[in-house]
Structure 1
Amino acid sequence: MSVPPKDSRFRSMIAFHTVTSVTELVAGASLLCLPSTALRALVGVLIDAPIPLTVARVAGAGLLSLGIACWLARDDVKSCSAKGLVAAMLVYDLLVPAILAYAGLGAGLKGVALWPAVVLHLAMSAWAIVCLNRR
């Protein structure tokens, strides 16, 4: 279902789904293919034990799935499913910065990507709220 580009309500949601898709596909692929490198960037610690690397790969698979779902929802933003996906991403984008902020402030982890990830997820949560309020 193609959306007329003149309607800013739907252009914002198309952009949200597109940006979310690309972001989660990159993060998911990184965790799936290079979990130790991705985790080091995020938390600043080299992790090479099998259990945390397996958990990181499972998280990567989940992020890839979210990225694919958002990519496919780009052209169907008028549906209830697309709105539900934005709501689900809002929950995700609120929980992730809380978890990462605790990792940085409470656990003292200091990855180069930690605080940028917190800011990115907070910005995405604000954008999701805007998208949900426009419908």
Structure 2
Amino acid sequence: MRWVLVLAAVLEAATGLALLLVPSLVGRLLLGTELAGVAVTVARVAGIALIALGVACWPGPPRIGMLAYSAAVTLYLAYVGLADGPTGILLWPAVVLHVILTALLTRASTSDKEKKP
């Protein structure tokens, strides 16, 4: 049954990659309409989350999936804020929160490696 988890991880990550790269096409294929405006930004964040879910479900420590999500969403949200994209009052606090989470998850991952013989 492990192959089912691997298959699900690959399919979710592939869907996430498609949402990240061509969100309007995915919207058209899934919902019958193209995504526009802020929906594209939300779809890309969802794509990042699906890629991270695929990483978390892959054999190995699930913490790596959360680390991948947190690091990628930090970079993407910062890009959105710096590129004069749609921004709200919570955009930069969310970026700061994800920077902190990324640092904590990185520290936890490296401390686990140091503990192993």
TM-score, normalised relative to structure 1 = 0.43
Greater RCO (CA < 8 Å, at least 6 residues apart): 1
